Amino acid sequence: MMSPSTFDALMRTRLPPNVTREKTRHERWVFYYRVGKGTRVRLPEYGTTEFDEAYQAALLGKPISRIRGATVAHQGTLRWLVIEYKKSTHFRNEIGVETQKRRDAIFQGMVEKSGDSQISRITSKTIVDAREKRATTGRGHAANAFMKAIKPMFGYAKARGWIETDPCRDVDFVKTKIIGHRPWGIDDVQRYEERHPVGTMANLAMRILLFTGLRRSDAVLLGRQHIRGGVVRFRPSKTSGTSAVTVTFTALPPLIEAIEKTKTGDLALLTTESGKPFESGNSFGNWFRERCEEASVPSRAHGLRKTGPTLAAQAGASASELMAMWGWSTLAQAEHYTKSASKEILGGSAASKLMAGYQTENAIPRTLETGAGMERKEQ
């Protein structure tokens, strides 16, 4: 931690060329080396020997051991473990690119706060405390994302012999409050298309999401090169570095109609008002939300990804068919929809039988007269 005297000196002293300082959300000053618009490199604490060494290395263009925002790593520290784990086969080859980015953000927060902690001193209590702190937000999802990131990392440390006991081994995930994205109903689709008819970019966006099942991040990458002979073949970015699943399915007529009647890009069908592809799935999601609001539709982009398999399952699609179209690598995701559809179909069947029984029962003539249906005794 920076001493008051060092801080006072920092405030009075001009930093070396190409060095800037920033304050983190933890109220700590951090330092970066950057030339012009080049890569920004995190430096150790100003005024230390490590800072001088790292600064000289940066001047010479030599690499500094770091993760995003990390300082020089000393062996046995949490900062060092994160660097080593990110070099592992598990992190590089068995985790998707998008997942790597999310976990890297979690690691960055850990390193900023406790990067110099010795991993040999991290206990199960330490992990539980960190998990519980995160469980107070995000309905428990933040806590579980944290656990998913660190469990394999500490397991890796144990396997390499860097720690004697894995502090995560007996720490479980928390139960989350499941509040999913609201699926679209047919009335939502109709209302949306009344506001955004075929031929508009907004309509094409909705039909791509509904009839391809792609995530926002992939929908913005879909182009004519992925559609050949009426068949869509696309490798989702989330699985490109892991299972490498390629989704393959027929391009349905409503999707083909929207593509033919809309002025699109070539390598990316969806474009902004300036005719350029969307910068990211998030920017597209924000734009699509505004189109939904214009149509008074409360659902959003991801809700269409839930509507598609729901309708397909209700129409009799098998779990394998759902996996092929939506790019799922496990049966669990597909069976969630097929089982729900089976319950609805069986429920509907039972209801129809109940109605048939009710109608049969009510076919018997009835009267309000007491004793109706019984032979009268002769007087």
Domain with 95 in it: 65-177
Q: Is residue 116 part of a domain?
A: yes
At 38, which helix (H) or strand (E)? Answer: none
Query: Given this model, what pLDDT does residue 303 score?
Result: 82
> What pLDDT is recorded for position 64?
57
Compute the mean pLDDT over every residue in the chain, rounded to the nearest whole number.
Answer: 77
294-346 pLDDT, tens digit per residue, is: 999 998 888 887 777 766 666 676 767 766 666 555 666 556 555 554 444 44
Mean pLDDT confidence for 178-202: 85
Nearest alpha carbon to residue 221 among 175, 261, 256, 269 = 269
Residues 123, 237 share a domain? no
Q: Are 156 and 219 in a shared domain?
A: no
Phi-psi bin for 246: left (phi > 0), alpha (psi -120 to 50), beta?
A: beta
Q: Which residues, other chains included, contact 108 with Cβ-Cβ below 8 Å and sequence gap of 6+?
A: 67, 68, 69, 70
Q: What is the pLDDT of residues 198-224, one digit of tens each?
A: 999 999 999 999 888 788 999 999 999
- Does the residue 281 lie in any domain? yes
Cα–Cα distances (Å) from 352 to 315, 342, 344, 358, in that order, read 18, 15, 12, 10
Residue 341, domain member (yes or no): no
Q: Per the confidence metrics, is the pTM higher than 0.75?
A: no
Give 159-170 as a DSSP string.
HTTS-SS-TTTT
231 shares its domain with 321 = yes
Residue-wise pLDDT for 103-112, tens only, equals 988 998 898 8
What CATH number corresponds to the domain at position 85?
A: 1.10.150.130
pLDDT category at 253 given cuts 50, 70, 90 is confident
CA distance 304 to 295: 15
Average pLDDT over residues 31-49: 78
Contacts of 306 (CB under 8 A, 6+ apart): 180, 181, 183
Task: Enter the tokens of residue 115.
Answer: 């990067």
